Amino acid sequence: MFICSGNICRSPLAQAVFEHLSAEAGLSGEFEIESSGTGAWHVGEQADSRMRKTASAHGVKLNHRSRQLHREDLSDYHLLLTMDHHNHRDTMALARTPEEREKVRLFRDFDPAGTGDVPDPWYGGLDGFEDVWQIVKRTCESLLKNLSSE
């Protein structure tokens, strides 16, 4: 489960990239891949047009509709990866057990080239969306390697 704030930029991109990479690796069906937002402002909406444009320029199509993270997702999913530390705090607040808390990680814990937050591109220009693409692409590659070796 990939988690951001609005579920219209970063986490739907991570979902689509991870789906794309796992299909390329012949691992479709091995993972239950989803994304959600800690906030409900954009529920039901398609991903932001700037995010869709950037992804499409790299050959990835976004088909997700925004949905909010629910408490049950913490028991239903094995790994919940948050795009930034605000999302991490908000997701942890929904966890009811130590097991659930252990499943919540920062997405960039899997980034081979950096740590911390995936910057929120919402208020910025198109170059911010390209930066998000680069971070999400290499982190999803590393995540897939990591999970498929388990």
Of the residues 79, 105, 109, 122, which one makes contact with ligand 4NP according to CB under 6 A: 122
Residue 36 backbone dihedrals phi, psi, to 5 degrees: -160, 170
Q: Which two tokens stand for residue 150?
A: 């388990």
Q: Per CB under 6 A, does 5 bind ligand 4NP?
A: yes
Residues 24-63 binding ligand 4NP (CB under 6 A) are 37, 41
> What count of other Cβ atoms lies within 10 Å of the Cβ of residue 39?
16
- The full length of the chain comes to 150
In the residue annotation, 9 being an active-site residue is answered as no
Residues 53-112 binding ligand 4NP (CB under 6 A) are none
Measured CA to CA, the distance from residue 47 to residue 10 in angstroms comes to 9
Q: Tell me whether residue 22 or residue 37 sits nearer to ligand 4NP (CB atom).
A: 37
Q: Which two tokens stand for residue 90?
A: 């908000």
Q: Per CB under 6 A, does 1 bind ligand 4NP?
A: no
Check if the beta carbon of residue 22 is closer than 8 Å to that of residue 141: no
Q: Tell me whether residue 22 or residue 66 sits nearer to ligand 4NP (CB atom).
A: 66
Check if the beta carbon of residue 118 is closer than 8 Å to that of residue 135: yes
Of the residues 10, 52, 88, 108, which one makes contact with ligand 4NP according to CB under 6 A: 10
Q: Which stretch binds ligand 4NP (CB under 6 A): 3-11, 68-76, 106-114, 139-147?
A: 3-11
Strands 2-4 and 80-82: parallel
Q: Which one is catalytic: 9, 10, 48, 52? A: 10
Residues of this chain that interact with ligand 4NP (CB under 6 A) are 4-10, 37, 41, 120, 122
Catalytic residue positions? 4, 10, 120
